[in-house]
Amino acid sequence: MTKVITYGTFDLLHNGHLRLLERAKKLGDYLIVGVTSEEYDKFRGKINVNQSLIERIEAVKATGLADEIIIEWYEGQKIDDIKRFGIDIFTVGSDWQGKFDYLQEFCQVVYLPRTKGISSSQIRTTSNSLKLGIVGSSTTIAKFITESSYVNGVRVAGVCTTNLMNLPDQLKNLDCVTTDYATLVRKVDAVYLASGPADHYQQIKYALNHQKPVLCELPLTLDVKQNQELLALASAKGVVLDFAIKTAYTTAYNRLIFMLKSGIIGKIVHIDATCTTAALTDFGATQPVNQDWNNLCAWGTKAMLPIFQLLGTNYREKKIITWLTDRQQHYDAYTKINFLYRNAEATLKVGHGVKAAGQLMIVGTEGYVYVPEPWWETEYFEVHYANANTKKFFYGLDGEGIRYEILSFVKAIKNKTANTYLDLGTVNAITKVCGDFDAGLDTVELTVK
Ligand code: CTP
């Protein structure tokens, strides 16, 4: 009996897949199809897959061509499968020509001509076509445009910025570059807001009232009542209002939160989150260029994330200690916040123009977690137990998490699903702290000479 094996993602199964499977089947008597897991696809940079693993397996099964279906979990698995299943022929489409010659050591390798004019990417792009408009400073815009190019079906069509002089070259060919927000909203299907937090409320309201979905950098606004009003408006209009904070979307951070919630270090008693930048291109500590984002809103939102996600939002009290370098604009170079909970406490330290190790430390009754700088875009963390027993975890990250954030937004618009990365409690708690800081509540000011 001749055994054949082939692999693929088989997202939105199409005629190219069918033809490949038919020809693969004819190469022998028994066909095994390896369907890639979500995890493995993410690892090899394929982040856009629309269907779940189960749906893709079901689709391959429904063709009636596979005698057996297996899951491809990891890099290098093909060699193991070929040996284990006693495979005679490995086959894939000619888009992989030469890439799998190394398998000739174990079986015959056949590249079948790829069917022209069709691919999963193409189907995803046509079914998802979304013109996105961005509001913010030039650095944020440039980064966002690069990242959105990794998401099928998303095209940045316009930007709204007050900083028209310093626009990067990549922006010059957009459909619309404007200083007028209403013009941008008219020209695009959805907006991403990286504008100053004080502008968010009006901008979100305007977009929602014009039926345009919004992805907004946290803090959503500086007042929890405004958050609630906007979320109610989004729900009444049936338009997506989603939250951007890149750290929440990275794989390593997500895994860490799930592990900690399932008790890997026992009860959490202390969290220490630090994010600082010695000097910034866009902000700068003592003479901020971008006055719209104070240090607490820019960095503090990220540092609050693990605290609220792990200890909850019902802290008993907080104390804000801050060094304001511009009192009129309420611009802080350094801010520390202590949160006191019934059974735990947490500290965040954030600085622009003040440099400390940007690490995250979480202390529990059975061990501690250490995430090195820059923990907010981490790929790696360590779990330390007694007796010097340490476990190390690594999860690859592409693009600081921004592309996953965009993808989640696109999926939310398409499937009308709620955000699974951030809950409203956390979003509102972040708003409350930023709002209290703005109003000088629970705050002690440092005098630095
Ligand atoms: N294939 C093919 N002809 C096509 C598309 C895919 O023969 N038009 C083959 C691939 O060469 C591979 C298998 O089908 O052997 C599974 O491919 P997969 O990567 O899942 O499909 P694509 O449509 O190429 O997906 P994407 O656009 O996401 O890369």
Q: What's the CATH code of the domain at 103?
A: 3.40.50.620
The radius of gyration computed from the CA coordinates of the chain, to the nearest angstrom, equals 25
**C-alpha of residue 221 to centroid of ligand 1, in Å:** 44
User: Are 230 and 276 contained in the same domain?
Assistant: no
User: Are 141 and 69 contained in the same domain?
Assistant: no
**In the listed set 58, 86, 120, which residue is the last one of a domain according to the structure?**
120
Choice from 5, 6, 20, 69 to test ligand 1 binding pocket (greatest atom count within 8 A of CB): 20
User: Are 241 and 282 contained in the same domain?
Assistant: no
**C-alpha of residue 70 to centroid of ligand 1, in Å:** 17
The stretches in the chain having pLDDT less than 70 are: 166, 279-291
With a 6 A CB cut-off, is 10 part of the ligand 1 pocket?
A: yes
Smallest Cα–Cα separation from 43: which of 362, 328, 427, 395? 395
d(Cα 290, Cα 89) in Å, to the nearest integer? Answer: 60
The structure tokens 């966002």 sit at: 144
Atom of ligand 1 nearest to the CA of 96: 11
Which residue's CA is the closest to the ligand 1 atom numbered 16?
A: 8
Which of the 8 DSSP states describes residue 290? -
pLDDT of residue 364: 98
Neighbours of 249 (CB within 10 A): 23
Tokens of 100: 């799998």
Phi-psi region of 338 (alpha: psi -120 to 50; beta: other; left: phi over 0): beta
Atom of ligand 1 nearest to the CA of 92: 15
Smallest Cα–Cα separation from 130: which of 45, 16, 240? 240
Residue 314, CA atoms < 13 Å, CB-side half-sphere: 2
**In the listed set 81, 96, 120, which residue is the last one of a domain according to the structure?**
120
pLDDT of residue 284: 36
pLDDT of residue 279: 63
256 is a domain residue: no
Q: Count of domains in the chain?
A: 3
Q: Are 362 and 271 in contact (CB under 8 A)?
A: yes
User: Are 308 and 242 contained in the same domain?
Assistant: no
CATH of the domain at 338: 3.30.360.10
User: Are 127 and 109 contained in the same domain?
Assistant: no
pLDDT of residue 291: 65
d(Cα 158, Cα 145) in Å, to the nearest integer? Answer: 10
With a 6 A CB cut-off, is 119 part of the ligand 1 pocket?
A: yes
With a 6 A CB cut-off, is 146 part of the ligand 1 pocket?
A: no
Q: Which domain holds residue 201?
A: 122-247
User: Are 228 and 326 contained in the same domain?
Assistant: no
pLDDT of residue 288: 45
Atom of ligand 1 nearest to the CA of 9: 20
**In the listed set 223, 247, 271, which residue is the last one of a domain according to the structure?**
247
Amino acid identity, position 145: I
With a 6 A CB cut-off, is 51 part of the ligand 1 pocket?
A: no
User: Are 230 and 280 contained in the same domain?
Assistant: no
With a 6 A CB cut-off, is 16 part of the ligand 1 pocket?
A: yes
Strand-pairing partners, residue 191, are 133, 214
User: Are 237 and 333 contained in the same domain?
Assistant: no
d(Cα 158, Cα 171) in Å, to the nearest integer? Answer: 8
User: Are 268 and 283 contained in the same domain?
Assistant: yes
pLDDT of residue 290: 60
User: Are 115 and 217 contained in the same domain?
Assistant: no
Tokens of 30: 């028994």
With a 6 A CB cut-off, is 125 part of the ligand 1 pocket?
A: no
Percent helix, strand and coil across the chain, each to the nearest 5: 40, 25, 35
d(Cα 349, Cα 6) in Å, to the nearest integer? Answer: 52
Give strand ranges (E) for 194-299.
214-217, 241-244, 268-277
Q: Are 193 and 204 in contact (CB under 8 A)?
A: yes
d(Cα 414, Cα 34) in Å, to the nearest integer? Answer: 28
